[in-house]
Amino acid sequence: MTGQATIDNITEQVLLGDEAVALGAVHAGISAAYAYPGTPSTEILQFLLNRAELEGGPKATWCANEKTAYEEALGVSMAGKRVLVAMKHVGLNVAADPFINSGVVWTGGGLVLAVADDPGMHSSQNEQDSRWMADFAHIPCLEPTNQQQAYDMTREAFEISERYRIPVMIRLVTRLAHSRARIETREPMTERPLDPDRKHGDWILLPAFARRHWHERLNQHTEIKAASEDSPFNTLEINPEHTEYGVITCGIAGNYFLENMAELDFVPSRLQIGSYPMPMDKIRELAEAVDHLLVIEEGYPYVERLVRGVLPTSITVLGKQSGHLPPDGELTPDSVRWASGLPERHGLEGPKIPVVPRPPRLCAGCPHCDAYTALNKALSGFEHDLVTSDIGCYTLGLLPPYSIGESCVCMGASIGMAKGASDAGVYPAVAVIGDSTFLHSGITPLMDAIAANSDMTVLILDNEAVAMTGAQPTLYTSSRIENVVLGLGAAPEHCHVVEAHPKKTDQLADLMRREVEYRGLSVIITVRECLESVRKKKNV
């Protein structure tokens, strides 16, 4: 309505890094956005869902997994519209097939992938650095230093995507994704007409087409590298007065260096990298101006490794690989001090308040507690039982007081691993997986297990929510999950749906015991809604 303030016409806002990406995408004119929840990227789509509710668009959708999210985004781009797809770093492994192949097709509408890495593993299985994935796929990558850049770079990413008809990655890290700052927004971007060079075959990767696309892409890569070299997000400042050392900082790591700069004896020459492929000419210019280089980057030593291979051996390159910066965990303003020649500092001294350690545990009254109590009873007396677990709130069952399960590797792995263990002679083998994780990546390994009638039991702990990331809705309701399992071919007499309830744990334990003793494939779906999800729906 005219005259009313909308999200769009507020020019200054305080936003999370995730939200800045989402708003940048809205102002870039996206038609749709797709994601699977995963910390620290969840808030990107959540922001768009909230906005869609208030403003009526763009379309924002939670998907079955990151692969389907990416593929749906490809479809929007093929239709000539702009689209954002968001995921966490390990989600990109799931989407790797369409992601890597999308570097070989010629996209239509701008396609931007926002990936949030999690150095320090606050909520993840590993620290993998998505810049390697962008490099592997020959896809340009932008890495913001702050929330303003997260907004600006997202808009720029759509420009690059449409200019070169290639997807573009925005790489965030937890600290930026989950911290707020003031940003200034700009006028929404106008729509760009579809590229007149579009032709039949642009999206076809049959070998004859794929070879041609790949050859053309490699030729185009020279142009993309040159544009990245000149990107305003790669800034070089040379201090000719001091040649002792120069610094390369990447993304948010630039802030950590700047926080300490006032204490340095001089301002060293510095290259801030925000756009990849790496600006090699600027790196060489910096290397020529100094005696050695310090590379400060969040994640893996990506830039450090690559510059080592191209600079003369007379230049010493310091960073994570050389041991001058911690090789794992998140960087902090303190952890980069020693490498910058400053005395170590270990945070600010605060008042000594005794804090009682509070290990993570399932909420009191969580439905998973009942399922685990029953499973422990069902397996008592077996000497060599093996329980494989998966990724969700129920992973906390690995810890006391339940201490049940011996693995947690990646989404959906519980079922495949239990099948493998059963194939290797382990009995009883039990897989524990949540409803959302089952729909994300558990269906295909269950097909393997059903086809082989593997001697194992699958427990699907259905809490009717993607609880761990904030109780987002599961794609399918409980009633449909049983149909999926039966549709895959599970024997109806060995497929059960039961309530997870404190008063019914003995009954549930008896059922689990019976199915564990059955020497074939069985599935038990325990159902009760997550308490957080109930609270969220009641808005309390």
- Enter the DSSP assignment of 41: T
Binding site for ligand SF4 (CB under 6 A): 362-363, 366, 368, 393, 463, 467, 530-532
- Enter the DSSP assignment of 440: I
CB of 390 to ligand SF4, least distance (A): 13
Q: Which is nearer to ligand SF4, 95 or 467 (CB)?
A: 467
CB of 67 to ligand SF4, least distance (A): 25
Q: Where are the beta strands (DSSP E) in 174-261?
A: 180-184, 235-237, 245-250
Q: Which is nearer to ligand SF4, 154 or 463 (CB)?
A: 463
CB of 454 to ligand SF4, least distance (A): 27
Largest Cα separation within the chain, whole Å, is 81
Q: Which is nearer to ligand SF4, 157 or 460 (CB)?
A: 460
CB of 16 to ligand SF4, least distance (A): 21
CB of 98 to ligand SF4, least distance (A): 30
470: left (phi over 0), alpha (psi -120 to 50) or beta: left
Q: Is 458 exposed, middle or buried (0-12, 13-18, 19+ CB in 10 A)?
A: buried
Give the C-alpha separation, 28 to 499, whole Å.
46
The contacts of residue 489 (CB under 8 Å, 6+ apart) are 447, 450, 451
Contact 466, 472 (CB under 8 A): yes
Tell me the one-letter amino acid at 71: E
Q: Which is nearer to ligand SF4, 399 or 452 (CB)?
A: 399
Residue reference for tokens 């200034």: 184
**Is the backbone peptide bond immediately before 58 cis, with ω within 30 degrees of 0?**
yes
Q: Which is nearer to ligand SF4, 144 or 397 (CB)?
A: 397
Q: Is residue 97 classed as helix, strand or coil in its secondary structure?
A: helix
Q: Which is nearer to ligand SF4, 207 or 400 (CB)?
A: 400
CB of 362 to ligand SF4, least distance (A): 4
CB of 221 to ligand SF4, least distance (A): 45
Q: Which is nearer to ligand SF4, 211 or 537 (CB)?
A: 537
Q: Which is nearer to ligand SF4, 139 or 366 (CB)?
A: 366
Give the C-alpha separation, 255 to 278, whole Å.
19
Q: Which is nearer to ligand SF4, 261 or 399 (CB)?
A: 399
Give the C-alpha separation, 173 to 57, whole Å.
27
CB of 465 to ligand SF4, least distance (A): 7
Q: Return phi, psi of residue 435, to 5°.
A: -65, -45
Give the C-alpha separation, 335 to 298, whole Å.
11
Give the C-alpha separation, 392 to 408, whole Å.
10
CB of 47 to ligand SF4, least distance (A): 21
Q: Which is nearer to ligand SF4, 122 or 186 (CB)?
A: 122
Q: Which is nearer to ligand SF4, 423 or 532 (CB)?
A: 532
The contacts of residue 174 (CB under 8 Å, 6+ apart) are 39, 40, 116, 117, 118, 119, 120, 122, 123, 330
Q: Which is nearer to ligand SF4, 293 or 371 (CB)?
A: 371
CB of 531 to ligand SF4, least distance (A): 4
Tokens in use for 257? Answer: 């260096």
Contact 90, 80 (CB under 8 A): no
- Enter the DSSP assignment of 347: -
CA distances from 71 to 67, 85, 340, 508 (A): 6, 9, 44, 40
CB of 527 to ligand SF4, least distance (A): 12
CB of 463 to ligand SF4, least distance (A): 5
Edge to edge, what strands does the sheet with 275-276 contain?
59-62, 32-35, 83-88, 111-117, 168-173, 141-142, 275-276
Q: Is residue 16 classed as helix, strand or coil in its secondary structure?
A: strand
Contact 260, 337 (CB under 8 A): yes
Q: Which is nearer to ligand SF4, 396 or 449 (CB)?
A: 396
Residue reference for tokens 């927004």: 185
CB of 389 to ligand SF4, least distance (A): 14
